[in-house]
Each structure stands twice: as structure tokens, then as C-alpha cells.
Copies of this chain bind each other. A is one copy, B any other.
């Protein structure tokens, strides 16, 4: 039996880790193909991208749709459960922007939106 000492430990197990929150956040803004996600999160390796997607799928946060065609097409989207994290991820995202403005110096960082 799994033992937790705080509900937050459960959330962090599901969306914690280096990439899960970020990938999920991009999918919350709309379904994406594998290659699109790779572009949105450039620093992730293909291996980690796939691995992260598998974990999110296993935990019921995203859905994987395969189109049987050549060349193959796969599209990922959020489930209702995954989508329910939208307010928190949006708030965190906005917090990150504020944090950077307050904390970093001009010219010390840049944000290149790839939307």
C-alpha cells in the first residue's frame, strides 16, 4: 500500500518531474502532434519526450490518438482530468513571468515564445 503524508505528494508524483507539467501545459492549450511538442520544448530529448508522454497517458492525464496512415500521425490531447489542471498551470505560468521580472536583470534572460 502506498503511503503519502500530504495530498500534495500525490500531485507532485503525477505532474512533478522535469517535463510533465510543461508538456501537459502545452497540451492544455490544444492537441499537438509529437513533432509539434518537440518544437515547443526544444531542450527535451526525443527519448524523454516519449517517456514523459507515456507517463502522462498512464496516469490518465492525456490521450493518445493514432491515425493509421503513412507516414504515421499521432496526436496527443488532454483528458478531462488533465484539463482540470489548467487553472493551476496557468497561474504557475503567470507567476513565473512575474518572478523573472522581479528577480532577473535585464539582458540576463529572454523568453522566446514559439506558439
Contact = CB atoms under 8 A, between A and B. Distances in A.
What is the total number of copies of this protein in its complex?
2
20 contacts: A2-B104, A2-B108, A3-B110, A4-B100, A7-B96, A7-B100, A8-B21, A8-B22, A8-B89, A9-B22, A10-B97, A10-B100, A11-B99, A12-B21, A14-B99, A16-B21, A59-B103, A85-B95, A88-B92, A88-B95
Interface residues of A, number: 52
A87 interface: yes
A42 B3 CA distance: 11
Interface of A: 1-12, 14-18, 21-22, 25-26, 40-42, 59-60, 81, 84-85, 87-89, 91-97, 99-100, 102-104, 107-114
